[in-house]
């Protein structure tokens, strides 16, 4: 691994939101001692500050510790120099996301809000134009109301049947999911290369890839490390967001024909109950985080990067348009339902195209993989120690 000093590295990190105070650190070690998630094998956040101060840019690319931090803020509250190490770990997560991303888009979005806004606008306009030109509202849309008074959403488009409409939307969903998954998986492979393969000081035993794999799944599903933070409410909010979003993703991508039916089903039907749960989970988290970021009383919500706000706004607008769309359907308003559906997709599609492969949502994938890779590294090192081949790392 190249450990060359890069004097311009601090300036580069400032573009990712690193504040001036970080350099106030005098390495007392309080933050590492108080952090409920820091362990003997994986120490942070002080180590990261040292690496930045020394300008070790290449070393940082293989650094997994920022992903172990769930930003509970306890280190920042107790830092005697107000260096805000918790926020620094957040900056490092943004930076590392751009390091893994071979397309370069993540770096552009994190360092320029105009790039991100232009990208969002492009996909929003693409959705609107595609709908208005290729899937226009049928002239007799006002008749597309079923016996219970609900709008037959899938029958609102001129010249095609309800089944054809659902297939077109399903095709779009899968196309988007495949593109996003391809970028994300290739970035995770890049992360694997930087953390494991490029480091010649240890070699992971082949069996460890299998015996440690459960940690990846377990940490993805439970976010169990997060629950070790003192503020359990934040973990609960995070779980609600994650499960809500995953539920909605499964409903609209994997199970769309069963979810977006012509008939507006009764409120106690699984389809509506799951939809309400997902909406509640996302809205709850958004409300807590938005109020927190405006009030700035909680240290972990005091500093907001432009991408934090953009994420909240995009997710909030997607959720609100989804709710209004549902109300219009129930109220039997076909044209309003149709235009709200287009608006909903014009926000949802760019949000997924930005957030999942390049920004906030990708962190949901990087965290459990970082825990998995970190564990592989530990297994490799302990095996080498036990055989007397202690590496210099
Ligand atoms: S960030 Fe603060 S608490 Fe941590 S080592 Fe530096 S001065 Fe001490
Ligand atoms: S924010 Fe919390 S989890 Fe992150 S380094 Fe500080 S104390 Fe540890």
What CATH homologous superfamily does 9-100 map to?
A: Alpha-helical ferredoxin (1.10.1060.10)
Q: Where in the chain is the domain with CATH 1.10.1060.10?
A: 9-100
pTM over 0.85: yes
Q: What's the 78 CA to ligand 1 centre distance in angstroms?
A: 8
Mean pLDDT of the chain: 90
The contacts of residue 337 (CB under 8 Å, 6+ apart) are: 151, 153, 156, 325, 328, 329
Is the pLDDT assigned to residue 392 strictly greater than 80?
no
The answer, yes or no, to whether residue 353 has pLDDT greater than 90, is yes
pLDDT value, residue 265: 86
Residues 57-92 pLDDT 10s: 888 899 999 999 989 899 999 999 999 999 999 999
**79 in contact with ligand 1, CB cutoff 6 A:** yes
Closest CA to 176 of 356, 362, 363, 366: 356
Q: Which residues, including other chains, have CB under 8 Å from residue 139's CB and lie 6 or more apart?
A: 158
User: What gap in Å lies between CA 377 and CA 388, rounded to an integer?
Assistant: 16
Mutate-to-test residue for ligand 2 from 86, 230, 232, highest number of ligand atoms within 8 A of CB = 86
| 360, 110 contact by CB (below 8 A) | no
Percent share of the chain, pLDDT over 90: 64
Q: Whose CA is nearest to atom 7 of ligand 2?
A: 35
* Segment 285-301 mean pLDDT: 91
In this predicted structure, the answer to whether residue 152 has a pLDDT above a threshold of 80 is yes
Matching residue, tokens 């779009």: 172
- Provide mean pLDDT across the span 28-52: 87
Provide mean pLDDT across the span 48-58: 87
Q: Is the CB of 27 under 6 A from ligand 1?
A: yes
Confidence of residue 1 (pLDDT cuts 50, 70, 90): low
Taking the chain, what is the end-to-end CA distance rounded to the nearest angstrom? 10
CA of 315 to the centre of ligand 1 (A): 34
Per-residue pLDDT band at 206 (split at 50, 70, 90): very high
């Amino acid at each position: 691994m190249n450990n060359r000093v890069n004097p311009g590295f601090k300036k580069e990190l400032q573009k990712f939101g690193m504040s001036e105070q970080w350099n106030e650190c005098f390495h007392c070690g309080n933050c590492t001692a108080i952090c409920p998630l820091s362990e003997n094998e994986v120490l942070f956040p002080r180590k990261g500050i040292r690496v930045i101060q020394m300008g070790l840019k290449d070393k940082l690319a293989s650094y997994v510790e920022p992903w172990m931090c769930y930003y509970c803020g306890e280190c920042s509250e107790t830092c005697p120099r107000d260096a805000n190490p918790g926020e620094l770990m957040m900056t490092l997560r943004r930076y590392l996301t751009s390091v893994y991303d071979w397309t370069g888009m993540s770096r552009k979005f994190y360092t320029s809000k105009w790039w991100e806004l232009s990208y969002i606008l492009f996909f929003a306009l693409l959705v609107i134009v595609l709908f208005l030109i290729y899937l226009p509202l049928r002239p007799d849309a006002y008749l597309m109301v079923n016996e219970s008074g609900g709008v037959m959403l899938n029958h609102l488009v001129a010249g095609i049947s309800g089944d054809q409409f659902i297939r077109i939307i399903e095709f779009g969903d899968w196309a988007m999911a495949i593109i996003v998954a391809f970028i994300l998986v290739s970035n995770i492979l890049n992360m694997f290369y930087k953390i494991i393969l490029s480091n010649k000081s240890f070699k992971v035993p082949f069996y460890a890839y299998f015996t440690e794999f459960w940690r990846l799944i377990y940490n993805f599903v439970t976010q169990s490390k997060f629950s070790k933070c003192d503020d359990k409410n934040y973990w609960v909010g995070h779980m609600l967001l994650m499960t809500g979003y995953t539920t909605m993703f499964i409903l609209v991508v994997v199970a769309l024909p069963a979810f977006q039916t012509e008939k507006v089903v009764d409120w106690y039907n699984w389809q509506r109950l799951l939809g309400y749960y997902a909406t509640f989970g996302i809205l709850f988290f958004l409300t807590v985080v938005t109020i927190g970021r405006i009030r700035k009383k909680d240290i972990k919500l005091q500093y907001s990067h432009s991408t934090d706000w953009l994420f909240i706004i995009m997710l909030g607008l997607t959720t609100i348009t989804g709710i209004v769309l549902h109300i219009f359907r129930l109220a039997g308003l076909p044209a309003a339902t149709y235009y709200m559906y287009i608006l909903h997709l014009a926000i949802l599609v760019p949000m997924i195209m930005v957030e999942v492969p390049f920004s906030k949502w990708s962190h949901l994938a990087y965290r459990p993989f970082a825990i998995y890779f970190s564990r592989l590294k530990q297994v490799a090192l302990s095996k080498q120690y036990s055989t007397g081949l202690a590496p210099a790392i």
